[in-house]
Amino acid sequence: MSFLPELWNYIKKLGLIVALIVTVIGGGWVANNYDISKSPKTFARQLIVEGDNALNIGRYVDAQRIFEAELKENPQNKQAAWSLKIAQLGQTLSQPDFKDAIDALYQQNPNDAHVNLFLGQFYAANNQPDKAIQHYTDAIRENPKLAEANYNLALLYDQLGNYEAAKVEFLRAINSSPIPKYRNNLGAIYFKQKNYEEAIGEYARNKKYPLSALESAKIYWRLEYLSQALSYQKQAIDWLEDKTLMAEPENEDAWYFEIAPGKRIELTTLEEKKSYAYFCLSVSLYLQGYGEGAEIAVKNSHDLNATRQADINALLTADLDALVQSNGSFAQQIAAYKQLYLYNL
């Protein structure tokens, strides 16, 4: 009968092994189902972060798409619903009912950073800088990562002639999100202060961004380095002709130019940007004595049939006037160029 204790021990060991296997399998099932249950929340959080990042740099169309996708999956997400309202409102700055819409959101949440940003933009556009500065400051306090608030505050300081304060805010915007339009505007401040080396350095940090290349060329005009200007303009045109590159979000942004205090020209379409670039190229060719090349570049500009050619002509005229004011040695050539290509259209 001595075999009975041994049999009992064997059965106990076998039972422990079976229990261990069941535990491992069961634990794996629970863990797997736990991960699955958590994955939608993780994905939703990722969308919220992506949407917030788009809002922080003024990519309102992208933000709208992201928050709509989140609400499709999670209709009860209140954060996404609010952010979607912000994204939609951000696309209506120039519309007549913009202020009423902002005020309605302000009543719901006066401490929302984006609402304060929009109020700042409204007051800046309506020549109330003190109110604009206050709202921009409130927006930055509520959300230090809101680079668009720093950027718009910098633009306002620039308009007020406070270049040092503008540089500080542009740098803060760049520190949050080093996107091309922030760097380009910082370069423009250096340009205005005639800190040409710093301006070119800042423009150079924008890779494959045609506007910065064209702005660098204007500096080389003033320094009488015409071959360098020509090289930058050709590079800008090559980039503008690259459809894949121009589909990047930063290259779909409008280009803004201040041609006089309180007067700004905006180039929005690819055709307008190309037309302006070809005109700039024609100036460099003409100043170097390549009249035939200048003629071809002007023709290339006109062949694009830009809808607002008069604005492009006005912009180029302002560029040339600024060049003559900075470097009078070009006065005679610029006057002849204007007569040929700007006055007789």
Integer-rounded Cα radius of gyration of the chain: 29
| Reported confidence tier of residue 11, pLDDT bands at 50, 70, 90 | low
Architecture of domain 98-177: Alpha Horseshoe (1.25)
Q: Is the pLDDT of residue 38 over 90?
A: no
**Residues 316, 345: contact at Cβ < 8 Å?**
no
Q: What's the whole-model pTM score?
A: 0.84
Using alpha carbons, list the distances in angstroms from residue 135 to 37, 90, 142, 181.
42, 15, 10, 22
Say which residue the tokens 């290339």 belong to.
300
Q: Is the pLDDT of residue 30 over 70?
A: no
- The pLDDT, as a whole number, for residue 44 is 55
| Reported confidence tier of residue 5, pLDDT bands at 50, 70, 90 | low
Q: Is the pLDDT of residue 83 over 50?
A: yes
Interval 177-203 mean pLDDT: 97
- The pLDDT, as a whole number, for residue 263 is 87
Q: Is the pLDDT of residue 168 over 50?
A: yes
Task: Output the average pLDDT for the chain.
Answer: 89
pLDDT exceeding 90 applies to what percent of the chain? 81
DSSP helix, strand, coil percent of the chain (3-state; round to 5): 75, 5, 20
| Reported confidence tier of residue 43, pLDDT bands at 50, 70, 90 | low
Q: Which of 25, 24, 66 is nearest to 43 (CA)?
A: 66
- The pLDDT, as a whole number, for residue 261 is 81
- The pLDDT, as a whole number, for residue 48 is 83
Rounded CA-CA distance 108/110 in Å is 7
Q: Is the pLDDT of residue 79 over 50?
A: yes
**Residues 280, 230: contact at Cβ < 8 Å?**
no
Cα-Cα-Cα-Cα torsion 338, 342, 344, 345, nearest 10 degrees, comes to 170
Q: Is the pLDDT of residue 308 over 70?
A: yes
Q: Is the pLDDT of residue 26 over 80?
A: no
The residues facing 334 across adjacent strands are none
| Reported confidence tier of residue 24, pLDDT bands at 50, 70, 90 | very low
Interval 261-282 mean pLDDT: 94
Q: Is the pLDDT of residue 191 over 50?
A: yes
Interval 326-345 mean pLDDT: 91
Q: Is the pLDDT of residue 156 over 60?
A: yes
Q: Which of 39-43, 159-163, 174-178 comes out lowest in average pLDDT?
A: 39-43
Helix axes 210-222, 226-240, angle to 10 degrees: 170
Helix (H) / strand (E) element for 87: namely: helix 78-89
Q: Decide which of 343 and 249 is more confident.
A: 249
| Reported confidence tier of residue 334, pLDDT bands at 50, 70, 90 | very high
Q: For 219-260, what is each residue's pLDDT tens digit? A: 999 999 999 999 999 999 999 999 999 999 999 999 999 988
The DSSP string of 179-196 is -HHHHHHHHHHHHHTT-H
Interval 323-336 mean pLDDT: 96
Interval 129-157 mean pLDDT: 98
Interval 303-332 mean pLDDT: 95
Rounded CA-CA distance 24/19 in Å is 9
244-250: long-range contacts at Cβ-Cβ below 8 A with a sequence spacing of 24 or more?
245/208, 246/270, 248/208, 249/59, 249/62, 250/179, 250/180, 250/181, 250/209
Q: Is the pLDDT of residue 7 over 70?
A: no
